[in-house]
Structure 1
Amino acid sequence: MIVDGIGSFNRIDFSSLTYEEMRRFEFVDLQTAYDFYNEYGRIQGFSIRRSKVGRSTKIGSEGEILWQIFVCSRQGERDTKHIHRVERKMDPRPITQCGCGAQIKVHVDHSTGRWFVDKFCDEHNHEMLDARFRGLLRSHRVIKEGDMHQINSMKKAGMRVSILFRAFATQCGDLRQLDLKLKTSTMQ
């Protein structure tokens, strides 16, 4: 199945995708593959980030991207030298990485120019986040370009933040459905 953008995500049931189904997807570009896995993570209850990238053999980082791995944001572990540091001036940040193995690797097919799922692992070693808190995860706190343009236009027109919230709540159907990302962006 060819995924050509965010608009085609509504045809996919992200809550019950299997390994075989995931391997059948093809994406028109790398950003669409990232958006796809990010939406999958949002529905499942985890955040994602970009990890390793493979490039063609041109010098430096100028090579064409051949493959990319997207991982659960809790993948990896903090280096022990940072955990047991003695000369610390501030309290350490909470440890969020727990060695989660969930990831997806996408690879480009040079004959078609499309990206396909090369590897997929959905084995998490942590709890998934409840639906009401998923908007707080880092990879899901992105404001759509159209919404940002509308926010800036309303601000330039002199609309107060409370009126702006009501306008967006009317579009969403209810103030409770309004994303946190939108709420935080209007305060800036």
Structure 2
Amino acid sequence: MDSSENPVHSSENVRNLPIIGMEFQSEEKVYDFYNLYARSIGFSIRRGSSSVRTNKVVRRRVLCCSKQGQYQKHSRGTPEEKRLDTITNCEAKVVIKLFGNVYRLVEFKEDHNHELVPPSQVHHLRSQRKVDNK
């Protein structure tokens, strides 16, 4: 689902659309930026895969929708009580890479395959609980 299809989250309400080539001073600043964007759209994010140097500096990081991924088969067969379907294999994400001392946004996918949360409920999402409304 594209955010433009949802009248609650029209393009006028979207703050700071991520653009390939944007630069950030730290990985934390990228996370904060994408989290504010996610709040304005109506979804939660999480840190995904990363590539780290030997000195523990992150070279590449994926920040994705919290509904990204797939459930694996249970190791002991089918469980009696099925989990809630909270993962939908959503493809929405940003990918950053370190160039010198600057993190650059190199990939951005914005389409979601699930319903987005209305603005009145977005503060309940996990990554949005700590966001300061400025």
Amino acid at match of 2:30: A
2:3 is matched with none
2:57 is matched with which residue?
64
Aligned partner of 1:121: which letter?
Answer: K
What CA deviation, in whole Å up to 9, does each residue of 1:46-90 have, x standing for no partner? 00000001112x3xxx5321011000000011112279534x5xx
Q: Which amino acid aligns with 2:14?
A: S
Q: 2:23 touches 2:102 (CA, 8 Å); kept in 1?
A: yes
TM-score by length of 1: 0.58
Match of 2:49 in 1: 52
For the 8 Å contact 1:14–1:40, the answer to whether it is kept is: no
Provide the aligned length of Structure 1 versus Structure 2: 122
Match among 63, 88, 94 for residue 84 of structure 2: 94
Residue of structure 2 equivalent to 1:127: 115
Give the alignment's TM-score, normalised by structure 2.
Answer: 0.79
Offset, 1:143: 6.3
Structure 2 counterpart of 1:73: 66
Percent of aligned positions with the same letter in both sequences?
26
Q: Which has the higher helix share?
A: 1
What letter is aligned with 2:96? Answer: V
Residues 43/117 of structure 1: CA separation in 2 closer, same or farther (3 Å cut): same
Q: Which amino acid in the other structure matches residue 63 of structure 2?
A: F
Q: 1:37 to 1:126 in 2, by over 3 A?
A: same
DSSP 3-state at the match of 1:131: coil
Match of 1:142 in 2: 130
Q: Which runs of 4+ in 1 moved over 2 A?
A: 82-86
Question: Structure 1: where are the runs of 5+ without partners?
Answer: 1-12, 145-171, 173-188
The answer as to 2:40 corresponding to 1:40 is no
**Structure 2 residue identity aligned to 1:46:** F
- TM-aligned CA distance change 1:25 to 1:14, over 3 Å: farther
- Residue 108 of structure 1: SS of its match in structure 2? strand
CA-atom RMSD in angstroms: 2.5
Q: Rg larger in 1 or in 2?
A: 1
After superposition, the C-alpha distances for 1:10-59 in whole angstroms (9 at most, x for unaligned) are: xxx871766xx611421111000000001110000000000001112x3x
CA separation in 2, counterparts of 1:79 and 1:68? 23
Give the 3-state SS of the residue equivalent to 1:119 in structure 2: strand
Quick check: 2:15–2:40 contact (8 Å CA) kept in 1?
no
1:106 matched to which residue of 2? Answer: 96
